Amino acid sequence: MKRRVIRGFVLAAILALFCSPGLCGQSNSASNSALNSALIEGLIGREKAAALLAGEKLILSQFNGVQPKYTPQRGSLMTLVETIRRDLEPSVMVETLFLYEKPENAKKETWSAEEEARLYNGILALSTLAGLQYYSASRGTMRTFYETSSVIDGQSTKRPLPDPVYSRPPARLTIQARQKDLTFGDNIYQYDYYSEQGAFFFNQQNLTSLSYGIIPAIGKNKLQSVAAVIDAGNYLLVYIASMSKAVSLPGMKEQIGNSFANRSEALFNWFSNQADKAFLK
């Protein structure tokens, strides 16, 4: 009997050693890290995934003959971006990739139905864009992106509406918004939202011409921006592509390209705040 007790004690000690919190935690952590890396790699490739996970910024600006190069490998998103590029024939295209790390309480294989609805409503809340700041390369300082931003009932009447709220994201939604941009002025935009399992996309296009100061810069329907949020384990992969057929003046395309890159980063910061609120409730 005594030998059995001793053997049982030794076996328990060995099991405790191999399943100690430190060792098991490291194993689980390594496994989770590998899983998250694999999910992100499957969307954007190993090199770009490693760069994002290392905290690097991924920004690609192209001028003339542009081709999407950062679009995540998701069929409907790739089709949307390529269709816009083909129809618009942009002279400027800026693509950016970001990673949002979920809070600890939300780190799981996929978002819950409640988190999905809150996150979707967060990106519909266009009024929260008012006052957003971005870095202005031309001025060398932070500058207000949108002074005002609101959903409206239509381009002709421009009556403001509350931000829409849904208990379940619809597969497709179109809204119009009036936004006063301190660079491009007071304009009307159309937002087309797409929802599918594990992802949201939206496309923004200008319904009015944009001016850079007193200079006409981008004609009506000549600015298209696509933003995508894709669930990837402990992270959300955020992709933003801005395309425009800009006026061909010396330095204008490069100026607009720099502006797009800085604005994309500001939009990601806005999205991160919206995601924090969605996941931390």
User: Has residue 34 been placed in a domain?
Assistant: no
Q: What pLDDT score was predicted for residue 109? A: 76
* Element of type H or E holding 150: strand 146-152
User: Has residue 20 been placed in a domain?
Assistant: no
Q: What pLDDT score was predicted for residue 19? A: 41
What total number of domains does the chain contain? 1
Q: What pLDDT score was predicted for residue 36? A: 81
253 falls in which pLDDT band (50, 70, 90)? Answer: low
72-131: pLDDT as tens digits: 999 999 999 999 999 999 989 999 999 999 999 888 878 999 999 999 999 999 999 999
User: Has residue 111 been placed in a domain?
Assistant: yes
CA distance 92 to 247: 10
User: Has residue 157 been placed in a domain?
Assistant: yes
User: Has residue 193 been placed in a domain?
Assistant: yes
Phi, psi of 149 (to 5 degrees): -160, 125
CA distance 208 to 155: 9
CA distances from 62 to 169, 241, 260 (A): 33, 11, 11
User: Has residue 196 been placed in a domain?
Assistant: yes
**Domain that includes residue 190, residue range:** 46-280
User: Could you please report the per-residue DSSP string of 52-116?
Assistant: HHTT--EEEEEESS----S--S-HHHHHHHHHHHHHH--SEEEEEEEEEEPPGGG-SSS--HHHH
pTM here? 0.86
User: Could you please report the per-residue DSSP string of 205-251?
Assistant: EESS-EEETTEEEEEEEEEEEEEEEEEETTEEEEEEEEEEEE---TT
Highest-confidence segment of 94-108, 189-203, 244-258: 189-203
Is residue 235 a contact partner of residue 101, using CB atoms and an 8 Å limit? yes
CA distance 128 to 72: 27
Q: What pLDDT score was predicted for residue 14? A: 34
User: Has residue 12 been placed in a domain?
Assistant: no
Report the CATH number that the domain containing residue 214 is assigned in CATH: 3.30.530.20
pLDDT surpassing 50 at residue 4: no
User: Has residue 273 been placed in a domain?
Assistant: yes
CA distance 195 to 201: 6
Write out the two tokens for 166.
């849904």
196 falls in which pLDDT band (50, 70, 90)? Answer: very high
